[in-house]
Amino acid sequence: MEQKKKICNFIFSLAFFLMIAIPFCLLDTTPTITSELENRNMTEWPGLHFSSLYNEWYGHYAEDRIGFRNQAISFNNYVTYYVFGEFAETIHMKGKDGYVFPADEGYIQNYQRLNINEELLDNLSRYLMNTSEYAKENGATFITMVCPNKSSVYGQFMPDDIHVDRTKNSALDTLKQKLDVSGVDYVIPDAEFRKKAEEEQIYNLKYDSAHWNDLGAFYGMTLLDKKIAESHPDIPVISGESFSLGYREENLELSSLPIKETIPVLTYQGAPALSDGENRKDVSVLAGNNMAYFYNENAPTDKTILILHDSFFDNKECYFYGRYREVYSCSRVNYTFMKEYIDVIKPDVIVFELAERSFADDLYAYSELGTYEYH
């Protein structure tokens, strides 16, 4: 009996040792590793140093490169989701009736109306007002568009344990009030989107939980076009005849879980516009980055549009270049170059687009919003 006990203890000890030793023996020492599971680069070897400052980095290196790491993460994700009905990672959050929402703290607090920053919205409103006035001085129409969070459209599907402080205005309503006072034209279609969502799925249930889908984008562009048409009735509103509707299956982004969804896809059917490399203007002379240029000699108008945008308008140039002679499109991080863009491009229409989530995300880095001047 004593001999059996010793053998069992030895086997248990050996198994425990191997469970620890084998993953360390399989440490991945590849210089650069990108993790699709976590959407980041794994910690690189910090070099050999005899300093306590580097101890933490050695620990991170071992944690990121240890053997069977991805398999362990995937197993944990599966168990957490299918057994406990939750996400193990912090990117997604499970809502009601199969809905998935972003899980970052700022996004949730914006929905709860707990982090509405009046100073930030004041600075944004001041920038938009100054830009609108300068645009008008130069014969251009300036319109601000804010694309609502999915939680602002499908809030009834947010988890019941996340409460909203109804005594406070939402960030979108607060900005609307400020823009009404400053006289800036805007499209902030949260109310319109909620009504549209009663008859059509304009944000996917799961896939790409932070953005609208193609049907939502088309509806949002339609509202934007109607606002533009108030000043430019010769520019036709976007038409469904220019697009074909199809569907494709996608897996939940940045997740190892087999969570699939069939999503709508709109494909532009018109002739492609001449673009980078074939263009008639050298946009490389303009300040900033990521400027794209499209020219359509067959456009129904000779108008030019300038668009500063975030990810909601990514790859949406085809929504515009069928109806404008020239389309300039770039990231809104170039906001401090707006005066140069207006002076050089001389656009007829300017659209400044941003997402509601930027109020709790990257807009804080736009430190010149409140002080940017045009004189």
Q: How many helices (H) and strands (E) does the chain have?
A: 10, 12
CA angle 212, 348, 317 (to 5 degrees): 35
Round to whole Å and give the CA distance between 287 and 92: 36
Is the pLDDT confidence value at 355 over 60?
Answer: yes
Is the pLDDT confidence value at 288 over 90?
Answer: no
- 13 and 121: one domain? no
- 58 and 121: one domain? no
Domain assignment present for 195: yes
- 55 and 122: one domain? no
Phi then psi for 260, rounded to 5 degrees? Answer: -105, 155
DSSP class of 167? T
Round to whole Å and give the CA distance between 128 and 336: 12
Q: How many domains does the chain fold into? A: 2
- Both tokens assigned to 366: 């736009």
- 163 and 291: one domain? yes
Cβ atoms of residues 116 and 320 within 8 Å: no
CA 248 from centre of chain: 21
For the ranges 7-16, 55-64, 273-282, 295-304, the lowest mean pLDDT is seen at: 273-282
- pLDDT of amino acid 121: 96
If you average pLDDT over every residue of the chain, what do you get?
86
Domain assignment present for 43: yes
Domain assignment present for 152: yes
- pLDDT of amino acid 343: 94
pTM of the model: 0.81
- 22 and 144: one domain? no
- pLDDT of amino acid 277: 45
Structural domain including 62 reads 2-67
Provide the sign of the torsion angle of the four alpha carbons 17, 22, 25, 30, taken in this order: negative
- 195 and 328: one domain? yes
Domain assignment present for 265: yes
Domain assignment present for 47: yes
DSSP codes joined into one string, 239-251? -GGGEEEEEEEEE
- 131 and 278: one domain? yes
More confident residue, 52 or 359: 359
Residues 18-66 pLDDT 10s? 666 666 666 667 767 666 555 556 666 666 666 555 556 566 666 666 6
Burial 252-261 (b: 16+ CB within 10 A, else e): beebbbebeb
- Identify the CA nearest to 188 among candidates 163, 165, 169: 169
Phi then psi for 167, rounded to 5 degrees? Answer: -80, -10
Domain assignment present for 155: yes
- pLDDT of amino acid 64: 65
Residues 136-151 pLDDT 10s? 999 999 999 999 999 9
Is the pLDDT confidence value at 291 over 50?
Answer: yes
- 251 and 343: one domain? yes
- 271 and 206: one domain? yes
Query: Could you tell me where the DSSP H helices lie in 26-165?
Result: 55-65, 69-84, 105-112, 118-137, 150-153
The stretch 306-333 carries a mean pLDDT of 93
Domain assignment present for 291: yes
- pLDDT of amino acid 77: 60
The percentage of residues in the chain with a pLDDT greater than 90, rounded to a whole number, is 61
- 207 and 324: one domain? yes
Cβ atoms of residues 321 and 294 within 8 Å: yes
- Identify the CA nearest to 339 among candidates 189, 132, 162: 132
Please identify which residue in the block is written with the tokens 């069939």.
262
- pLDDT of amino acid 165: 95
- 194 and 330: one domain? yes
Is the pLDDT confidence value at 114 over 60?
Answer: yes
- Both tokens assigned to 129: 């007002």
Domain assignment present for 177: yes
Cβ atoms of residues 142 and 194 within 8 Å: no
Residues 243-281 pLDDT 10s? 999 999 998 887 777 789 999 999 999 877 766 544 556
- 57 and 121: one domain? no
Question: How close are the terminal C-alpha atoms of the chain, in Å?
Answer: 93
DSSP codes joined into one string, 105-116? HHHHHHHHT---
Round to whole Å and give the CA distance between 160 and 104: 17
Residues 180-239 pLDDT 10s? 999 999 999 999 999 999 999 999 999 999 999 999 999 999 999 999 999 999 999 999
How far is residue 42 from each of residues 79, 174, 183, 289, measured CA to CA in Å? 24, 40, 48, 27
